Chain A
Amino acid sequence: MTDTAAVGGRQRVTRSRRSAAWGALVGVVVVAILFSLPYLVYANVTGVLVNLFILVSLATMWNLLAGYAGLISVGQQAYIGVGAYAVFVLAGDGISPFLAIPLAALISALVGLPASFLLLRLRREYFAIATWVVAEAFQLVVVRSNSLGAGAGAPLPGMVGLDPALRQAFTYWAALAVAVAALLGTYLLLRSRLGLDLTAVRDNEVGARSVGVRVVRAKRIVYLVAAAGAGAAGAVLVISQLFVQPTAVFTVQWSAYMIFVALIGGLGSIEGPIVGTVIFFLLQQTLADRGAWYLIVLGAVAVLMAMWVPRGLWGLISDRFGIRLFPVGYWLHGMNPPATGPGPKTESPQA
């Protein structure tokens, strides 16, 4: 990807105001450390991180849908389920569950294609409700299928004979790979021309259409990418649990988690879902043995954040310090920075 371009022989366009090289360096170091963790810590730690990576992947995809394409879905669990059952079926055919993860993502996107023709005709709340209906429909199909274990579920084949320590390490690496792929994929997508289209569609759909953006096509691509991402996360989920059950994968609770994480972390930024997931896990770890208080605190945090910090924690951080780990915007050099306020691309109160 070319980062700079001469403009009229005088101006220069880059993808962020300052160099983003250190951001990339931080990313590589963090991933390298996370990669080596199975050699350094006990399996219970990596076990928690597997769930964290699953949620980061899911929230990243939900953020792509809602924060960039303006598609509020409460039915992404449909593809968690499709991904989970895809791994189950493929493993039954003798394919290693780990190798089945990318296939599960692909199958989820394929299943999402006909659904997208139905759903993208709808707007806002109608879209949201319909996504949930699709998820419920998928669950009903699974419950009625004896070969898929029906309502009771079934153990995941292809995992016996694997040393537990090795299995846990593989599961951890698979979860890490899916999370990194989700983040990197989102980053590359948003940096592309399509990313700019999406932001335009989110900000003003009529305006986007009037400058030539194929609005429905852009939304469909995002919907399918999000389906693939949720499918991959669902695949990792069933591998980590060794058992597939319709009520566990198709529950709307997943959407509640994705929304919570994306909201407290900050919608419309790649970093937000990471921050949100970490907060969510900290809350979960500290409140796990407090019963109902756990849900009460979670709900209170969500309400307070929505009221006082609408752009989420990452929004707060990036406004204050002007940090952007994943620069996706454009910066025209030789021009004035904004006259007032901290930096470019901050929302003004009247917006």
Chain B
Amino acid sequence: MSSGPLLELASVTKRFGSIVVADSLSLILRGGDAVGIVGPNGAGKTSLFALISGDLSPNSGEVRFEGRPVTRLDPAARCRLGIARTYQVPRSFEHMTVFENVLVAAHRGAGLRGGEATDLAASVLEETHLHEEANWPASRLSLLQRKRLELARALGTGPRLLLLDEVAAGLTEPEVAGLVQVVEGIRARGIGVIWVEHVVRALVGLVDRLICLAGGRFIGDGEPLAVLATPAVKEVFLGTSYGEGNSS
């Protein structure tokens, strides 16, 4: 792969009326990077994801993937180029089997057909520990299994950049640990990962770069522990938790 950046955001701004969810954000990500994004509720984390995946289009600025502008492409087109995402609330295809859920991704996202597509789908199910449930209808899965299916489906598209939106939310600690292990395997394959998570602990062990987002701006960016130790980041997190403590 070329040495150019995998993903580039150049002064990306998104407003909803007077509310600015992304305030001239710029970001460069290289292949194989694993970046964590933290921030208080309403900081613009999910909006940032939507801007990268194409679910939202910016008011100004540009998104480039592998050097190519993708700002005007819809999510399906960006997915076919190699940007895959998971959703915080799983968007499973309820009446299809787990295998079929992933097979759609292999057909359309990865552009494969026939045996190549079924091969990829089967191997992804194994990687995400869902192969035992391959023939189950998705409607029968538990929350953890649905989160795994989100991950499996995203992997089925053959991504080079994977956006994980709160995959650990709502899971128990051992479940989170199992998931982190799967993500580590994905990262080891050279797939770039951006992971938005409330469970900061899940991130710190895995990512080599942490970005803190507040009010639609980056207020910290760098080595995870160092970022968490900066005054601005501390103030945002402690400030919010004090505020919450006082109001309850």
Contact = CB atoms under 8 A, between A and B. Distances in A.
B140 interface: yes
Given A211-B108, A330-B118, A335 B131 contact: yes
Contact of B137 (A8, A213, A346): A346
A206 interface: yes
Nearest to A331: B135
17 contacts: A7-B118, A8-B123, A193-B107, A193-B113, A196-B96, A200-B96, A204-B92, A207-B92, A209-B76, A210-B53, A211-B108, A212-B109, A212-B110, A213-B76, A332-B134, A335-B133, A338-B140
A291 to B, nearest CB: 41
Contacts, number: 154
Contact of A335 (B74, B94, B132, B139): B132
5 closest cross-chain pairs (CB), A and B: A207-B91, A212-B109, A5-B115, A212-B108, A211-B105
Interface size class of A (residues with CB under 8 A): 35 or more
A5 B114 contact: yes
Contacts of B80: 212
A11 B94 CA distance: 24
Contact of A204 (B91, B110, B135, B140): B91
Contacts of A210: 53, 55, 75-76, 79, 84-85, 87, 91, 154
A144 interface: no
A2 B108 contact: no
Decide if the interface of chain A is mainly helix, strand, loop or mixed. Answer: loop
B156 interface: yes
A213 B133 contact: no
B97 interface: yes
B133 A203 contact: no
Interface string A20-52: 000000000000000000000000000000000
A345 B84 CA distance: 26
A206 B95 contact: no
Contacts of A13: 99, 118, 122
Contact of A6 (B111, B115, B123, B131): B115
Interface in B105-147: 105, 107-111, 113-115, 118-119, 122-123, 131-137, 139-140
A250 to B, nearest CB: 34
Interface string A195-238: 01101101110111111111100000000000000000000000
Interface in A323-351: 329-332, 335-341, 344-348, 350-351
A204 B109 CA distance: 16
Nearest to B113: A193
Nearest to B78: A212
B122 A7 contact: yes
Nearest to B163: A210
A11 B122 contact: yes
Given A207-B91, A329-B97, A212 B140 contact: no
Contacts of A338: 135-137, 140
Interface residues of B, number: 48
Nearest to B132: A336
B52 interface: no
Q: Which of A199, A211, A330, A345 has the most CB of B within 10 A?
A: A211
A268 interface: yes
A347 B95 contact: yes
B103 interface: yes
A184 B96 CA distance: 22
Contacts of A330: 97, 99-100, 103, 118
A119 B104 CA distance: 26
Nearest to B74: A209
Contacts of B104: 196-197, 200, 208, 211, 213
A296 to B, nearest CB: 34
B100 A212 contact: no
A337 B134 CA distance: 8
Given A11-B122, A196-B100, A330-B100, A207 B137 contact: no
A212 B79 contact: yes
Interface centre among B84, B100, B109 (most CB of A within 10 A): B100
A347 B136 CA distance: 11
Contacts of B101: 200
A329 B79 CA distance: 24
A339 B97 CA distance: 13
B101 to A, nearest CB: 8
Contacts of B111: 212
A204 B91 CA distance: 6
Contacts of A331: 97, 99, 135
A209 B77 CA distance: 9
B157 interface: yes
Contacts of B74: 209
Given A210-B154, A215-B76, A344-B137, 13 more contacts: A5-B119, A196-B107, A208-B93, A211-B76, A331-B97, A332-B122, A335-B131, A339-B136, A340-B140, A347-B94, A347-B139, A348-B139, A350-B139
B136 to A, nearest CB: 5
B153 interface: yes
